[in-house]
Structure 1
């Protein structure tokens, strides 16, 4: 076990709005948007997508579409008219997407990727890739910040619980420390929820929002851990997959 002075930091930022308070102290930024952007991104790579370009605005998405890219766009939980798909993970299980580079713009997640990209190495986190991500992070020996995408710059439960799971794992390795109350709160939310995450989040605001849009299958997929054991990382403007030989033994 490392001494407190040599332990790396693992902290949690509850929303993009708070990110400027954290951004200068971390080498790895784990962007989390459990419902549904980062879960969909992990599903895409697990299905064999070659690359994924996250963009913040509909205008950027349309520009890529005009260049011939397959483009997904979501706002307020719905597919934006005129685009190929939204951010349902099931959209990315289409075998026609294997080997291709696609583009995605979402309400919260892709915006978080963009605000984080100049602060450190951006890594995609979700419950879908939780175990493989935890093991990879534990081997990097770098300060890690979990950036929760939240909902329109506000706190949400599902992203915080996922961040808490990462925090709990890394602290328990003995090589990481947390000092912020946000990280302590996230960890204890995860410990309260871990035996039944789906049930724990039954009353959460975004789960209710998606349920009202008849997206129950998406909810179940996104809240079930380890369905897509991949690690997408941002390389320039495009997300790419960390190769298997540098993942877990």
Structure 2
């Protein structure tokens, strides 16, 4: 008899040391905006995206081939090609390119999870069904890692985690309490994600920067079928 798989939601990377993820497929979530932009960029033909934790690491990998992308507190770091707006990851800008990326939250979550995870993939509303369809075919535990905001809880990442739980819950998974709570939040929000996420602190931060269109874009469901997967130090398109 097949052992029952777990589905767990980690509400912030600060809680990651409390979990054993050696048998888990980790889905890193940073809806506003890193993982949404990564999914969009890989779908639009980026050769690879190299996530790094710090601006210094990003600069150290500079060469004539790579584009450099750095974001802190929602803003592009001065001197870099772009930040983590999905509108910077269009086909015209990224096709065939390798991008070195550092962000406030998302790349930190990737950096922490890759140390012990069985596999790390990238999730967003843009590819939610593709991610769930893949997870259904695997015999591993599912671990939804919310990047949060500077190691604190945030609402939008938890909503996405709940969206995944709601799509997988009939698959005989053991759910932890945080996955149940995340799904309950998603059920409240799913009919109008825009209105619900308008309550979020990060949404307010982005609005103050005048980038409301990024928020709308990142809440679109299933506009890509690509799943970025971490291979070594690079995020690349998963090949089935």
Scaled by the length of structure 2, the TM-score of the pair is 0.96
Residue by residue over 1:20-63, the C-alpha shift from the partner in whole angstroms, topping out at 9 and shown as x without a partner, is: 11134642111000000000000101111011100100101111
The TM-score normalised by the length of structure 1 is 0.92
1:165 — aligned with what?
Answer: 163
Q: Does 1:193 align with 2:185?
A: no
Work out whether residues 65 and 97 of structure 2, in 8 Å CA contact, stay in contact via their aligned partners in 1.
no
Contact 2:65 2:98 in 1 (8 A): no
Find the residue that maps to 2:7 and give its secondary structure: strand
Q: Which moved more, 1:32-41 or 1:14-23?
A: 14-23
Residue of structure 1 aligned with 2:47, choices 40, 50, 53: 50
**Post-superposition shift, 1:67?**
5.6
1:73-92 matches, within 5 Å, as 73-92=70-89
Q: Secondary structure at the match of 2:205?
A: helix
The count of corresponding residues between Structure 1 and Structure 2 is 239
Q: Structure 2 unaligned segments of length 5 or more: list them.
A: none
Instruction: Report if the CA contact (8 A) 2:21-2:143 is conserved.
Output: no
Cα shift at 1:66: 4.5
Task: For 2:134 and 2:21, locate their aligned partners in 1 and report how far apart those are by CA, in whole Å.
Answer: 22
**Contact 1:42 / 1:128 at 8 angstroms: preserved in 2?**
yes
> Which residue of structure 1 lines up, in the alignment, with residue 31 of structure 2?
34
CA shift digits 1:59-101 (9 cap, x unpaired): 0111122464211000000000000000000100041421111
**CA-to-partner distance for each residue in 1:7-32, whole Å, 9 max, x for gaps?**
21111000000011113464211100
Please state whether the residue corresponding to 1:164 is helix, strand or coil: helix
1:1-249 matched pairs, under 5 angstroms: 6-24=3-21, 26-66=23-63, 68-120=65-117, 121-172=119-170, 174-178=171-175, 180-243=176-239, 246=240
Classify the secondary structure of the residue corresponding to 1:23: coil
SS at match of 1:65: coil
Q: 1:24 to 1:134 in 2, by over 3 A?
A: closer
CA distance in 1, matches of 2:217, 2:10: 24
CA RMSD of aligned residues (A): 1.4
Task: State the 1:239 CA deviation.
Answer: 0.5
State the distance in 2 between where 1:93 and 1:24 align.
33
Structure 1 gap segments, 5+ residues each: none
* Residues in 2 aligned to 1:51 and 1:23: alpha-carbon distance in whole angstroms: 28
The 1:26/1:159 distance shift into structure 2, 3 A limit, reads farther
- Partner of 1:61, secondary structure, is helix
